Chain A
Amino acid sequence: MNRLSSTHIVYLVALATIIAGTVLVGSAGRNFFSPGNVSDILTGTSILGFIAIGQTLVILVGSLDLSVPYVISLSSLIGAGIMANQPGNILPAVLAALLVSALIGLANGAVVAGLQVHGFIATLGMGLIVSGYLGSNYQGSAGQAPLAFRLIGATGIGPVPVSTLIMLACAAVVLLMLNTTRLGHAMYAVGGDASVARMSGVRTRTPVIAAHVICSTMAGLAGLLLAARLGVGSPTIGSQGGYDLLSIAAVVLGGTLLAGGKGSLIGTLGGVLIFAMLDNIMSVLQVNPFLKDVVRGIVIVVAVAVYARRKVVHRPARFGRGPAHDDDAPPPGPGTSRQGGPSRGDGTGARDEVSA
């Protein structure tokens, strides 16, 4: 247990879920590994996967994104609206939807990094603004996705759906960005401690803005995928799914610190897989839909409690204390502001305790 990183634990939990799933689904007289069921699980990972990839980046830089559900709805409406059942319109529709999503992300990032508003409030406010726009301009589902576009949501290579492949491709690109580029390292640095990053010569605003832009673009992709599945755009599709809180839960389940600076995309994908398998198992067992939420809630808390305790008990202290303790550092001299870095200094509700 000592030597395991949290990513390993995520996949151990996923393995345990697979074993439990095999037994439970088997006892219901079905095969957990039948191509149909595997395809079902993988389909379940795609939407949440897209959002969780973006959410991982945003949480890594120490912010949050609560505006994703509304970006998803908006993107599905813009996409389906511009397509209007014309196969020739697919490309402009996709580009327009992604552009609008990216602009919302840019606004989020600018408010968080530029105006020093906490990510929770900035994105909650942005989500409300978009939600007001959606409520005022769309009464119900609108637009029509052409058949060629709908195929993306419906076809697969063997048991693996195309949508999941796209999601994995995005994950690979983002992973490469996080691990090999300057921007990726800067994201970890800013999330760990913005003032230290600043003093080491990292521009602290760029990574925050970039993370928000990527996150919203990913949410836009998820919205387009939902439009492909439904064939229409819907103003409530995002908020119905509760994707904002579920994606944050998946990221934290994947071992990323809610306070930022520590975590991995691979772990997030494991968290998403666990959620998808849980959903699948409960669907096969025909669990009451309300009890599904109960199980989800308990699993989130229990799983995170496992990592949180592990970090407390097992990790040796480095430099006296864990790295997330940015504002508990020795008191600054008179005249310096305690809130040194953008949005990091005052932490989230989750701050610090995890790594204490």
Chain B
Amino acid sequence: MSVATDRAVLQQNRSPRGERVLRALRTPSGAIFVLVALLFLAVLAANPSFGEPGSLIRFIGRTAPIAIAAIGQYFVIVSGEFDLSMGSVVTAQVIIAGNLIGQDESRTIPVLALMIVFGAFVGLVNGLVTTLLKVPSFIVTLGTMLALLGLVLFWTGGAATGNPADSFRQIGRGGIQDVPVLEVLPYPVLILVATAAAAFWLMRRPYGRTLVAVGDNSRAAALTGASVWWVRTRAFMLSSLAATAAGVILVGYAGVHPSVGQGYEFTAITAVVLGGVVIGGGRGWVLSAAAGAFALELLFTLLNFLGVESTWRDSVQGAIIIVAVAAASRNWQRKRRGASSRAHDEHRPIAAPTPAPGTNEGGT
């Protein structure tokens, strides 16, 4: 009996691993991986050379900033909030790098440290105003978005200025040379893998579990002793730090330009939602959010290869997210109904032992 009380595992979690994977693939968070695989096959059919290791790794490198931004946005969305300031943070960081580093390579490290502190600070402000002043995060981050972009453009006079040293730009455009099979292993890929691994680890830590609980039902989480405000504030900081990382990579790719981060927040939210994460919080897996970013980029690549005019990209993206979310919302509901009835099967080990005949349960 003690074994059963230690681990009262739901029936669906006691199935063999293969069955559990199959079941996971039917949830929106799992289905995104099927979608990525299908899109990849479609791109491959349209252009077989896409599958070569070299071009594939470059594609992953190209997608890295948006995938990192999606991972950051995931933390905020799963806790039940929004971060609209992401695009402005990306722009601000890009311009900070451009203006402060300049051609002086020795400044790379201090400025990088400054950017990280700045990113964390923006997230801290977003989080504290949201949680302590009780302003809806939509409004807070909208305000930060306007104010931050305005400040940065005021600083530079609205023009693209500054050009960071080449060593700094190497983070975004360079890579480890002479890797077997791949030829070159771009640094953005390494940063993405590290970010994804860290996020995966974090979501399995008590912090990650609490974050999801807060997003699902903040009052219940507060009653169980979680400090909701600090959990959410840290989610905002993680989001701004992810935007910082995306900005650092984008300096290398796109260079310094005030419109670099434009619309990044909506792309990131689209990727997260495409990954089956529910707006309002409490549902979804962090790696699915990253997979959502890949699905989006694969979709654009496919449209490119098929010769669809780039102006229609928006329309396809719009239609896809509506369809995906409509399908996901049906799926989550069906799964919930199914899960709750399945959780009550009679074979489930129950913590309370059945009283042996003769003992007096009532305590009289």
Contacts and interface: CB of A to CB of B under 8 A. Distances in A.
Contacts, number: 203
Contacts of B340: 334-335
Contacts of B332: 339
Contacts of A339: 329, 332-333, 336
Interface string A326-341: 0110000011011100
Contacts of A353: 130-131, 134, 136, 218
Interface string A232-259: 0000000000000100110010000011
A120 interface: yes
B314 A135 contact: yes
Interface residues of A, number: 63
Most buried by A among B151, B153, B218, B325: B325
B46 interface: no
Contact of A111 (B81, B129, B144, B326): B326
Contact of A136 (B149, B312, B322, B329): B312
B318 interface: yes
Interface stretch (B102-110, B183-191, B272-280): B272-280
A115 B138 contact: no
Contacts of B144: 297, 301
Contacts of A294: 146-147, 150-151, 154
| Main SS class of interface, A | helix
A137 B312 CA distance: 10
Interface of B: 77, 80-82, 84, 129-131, 133-140, 142-151, 153-154, 158, 217-220, 266, 269-270, 273, 278-281, 309, 311-322, 325-326, 329-330, 332-333, 336-337, 340-341, 343-344
B134 A128 contact: no
A125 interface: yes
Contacts of A345: 280
Given A290-B151, A293-B150, A301-B135, A249 B319 contact: no
Please provide the 5 A-B residue pairs with the shortest distance between their CB atoms, ordered closest to farther: A350-B136, A132-B315, A128-B318, A346-B280, A293-B150
Interface of A: 111, 115-118, 120-122, 124-133, 135-136, 245, 248-249, 252, 258-259, 288, 290-298, 300-301, 304-305, 308-309, 311-312, 325, 327-328, 334-335, 337-339, 345-354, 356
| Main SS class of interface, B | helix
Contact of B279 (A115, A325, A348): A348
22 contacts: A116-B329, A125-B318, A128-B317, A130-B315, A132-B313, A252-B139, A259-B136, A290-B154, A296-B147, A296-B150, A304-B135, A308-B136, A309-B133, A309-B134, A328-B218, A334-B340, A339-B332, A349-B81, A349-B138, A349-B279, A350-B136, A354-B134
A305 B137 contact: no
A258 B138 contact: yes
A120 B279 contact: yes
A59 to B, nearest CB: 10
B139 A350 contact: yes
Contacts of B319: 125, 129
A136 B279 contact: no
A136 B310 CA distance: 8
Nearest to B130: A353
A345 B332 CA distance: 13
A249 B312 CA distance: 30
